[in-house]
Structure formats: C-alpha cells, structure tokens
C-alpha cells in the first residue's frame, strides 16, 4: 500500500459569504490578480454549495462572455478571455483514471492558463497539486463559509487578494 502525500499548506483563511454578491465580490478580487493566469484552483463542497456559481462569477470577472455552462457531463468546458486560456473541469462523473489520458487532460494541465476543478477528489491521483484549494460549506442560515488553503507561492498570492 502506498500513501499519497498531501501538499503542504502554506496559508489558510476562512470567509463568510452572507449573500451571493459576497461570492461575486470575492471572485472579482481573485480575477484581478495576475497570479491567477497560470494557477490551478480546486473547489470542494457538497452539491448545492455554490462551486459552479463561484466559477461563473470568476469567469465573468475575467471577461468571459456568452453562456457559461457546467461541465458536469462534458468534464471540461474551455473558455478564453483577453488571451487567457481557462479550463473549467467538473470531475463529478469521472470514474476511470484512464479517461485522464484518453481525454488529453495531461496536455491541458501542461499548457499555460487557468485551471479550475470541481469535485477534484474524483480525479485524485491524476491531478497535479493545486495552488489554491477552496472549500465551500452551507451554513444553517443558507449563507456560505469559504475555507481557502494555499499550497504554493502562487496560492499564497491568491490567498492575499481574497481578503
């Protein structure tokens, strides 16, 4: 049996989002950071926690126009804004690690651009370490709690702009 190592947490912060507008404001701050251009961000949380909603706010803040749909069935939805390649993954239905190679995801992660993954635990073992891990929780009052953890120098830079 091999034990998977977990990347070191270099910094962490918690945030409370009473409304969706708070999530949108946080996404806008993140979008303004030059460190986002080649970052890999993981999004964790239960169904309905707001992962896809947060990604939509982030993509809009980055300048993505048109329909932004969830990649739940396609696994990957590519976008581009102002010369930035953005790859939005949703691994909820991901079942076989061979899909990783067959779909060319290794090449996507090797290329420049922003990568965002929902349900990354479903692709554990094939994903590279994330720069920033965002975990959303639904509070009893239906507001959201965000826990942000940085796992790289780039992640630390992103964590700083979230505050």
Q: What pLDDT score does 65 carry?
A: 87
Give 111-149 pLDDT, tens digit per residue.
Answer: 999 999 999 998 888 899 999 999 999 999 999 999 999
pLDDT digits (tens, 9 = 90+) for 69-103: 776 667 889 999 989 999 999 988 887 777 777 77
Report the pLDDT value the prediction gives residue 2, as an integer from 0 to 100: 41
| Pair 8, 150: CB distance under 8 Å | no
DSSP of 101-149: HHTTHHHHHHSSSEEEEESGGGGTTTSPPPSEEEEEEE-TTS-EEEEEE
Domains and CATH numbers, the chain: 15-162 (3.40.50.300)
pTM above 0.85, yes or no: yes
């Amino acid at each position: 049996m091999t034990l998977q190592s977990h990347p070191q947490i270099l910094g962490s912060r918690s945030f409370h989002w009473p409304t969706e507008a708070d999530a949108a404001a946080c996404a806008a701050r993140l979008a303004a950071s030059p460190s986002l251009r080649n970052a890999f961000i993981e999004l964790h949380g239960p169904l309905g926690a707001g992962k896809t909603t947060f990604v939509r706010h982030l993509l809009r803040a980055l300048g993505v126009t048109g329909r932004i749909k969830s990649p739940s069935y396609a696994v990957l939805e590519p976008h581009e804004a102002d010369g930035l390649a953005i790859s939005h993954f949703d691994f909820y239905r991901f079942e076989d690690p061979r899909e990783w190679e067959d779909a060319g995801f290794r090449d996507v992660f090797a290329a420049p651009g922003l990568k965002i993954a929902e349900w990354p635990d479903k692709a554990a073992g094939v994903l590279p370490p994330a720069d920033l891990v965002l975990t959303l929780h639904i509070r009893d009052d239906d507001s959201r709690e965000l826990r942000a953890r940085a796992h790289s120098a780039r992640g630390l830079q992103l964590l700083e702009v979230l505050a």
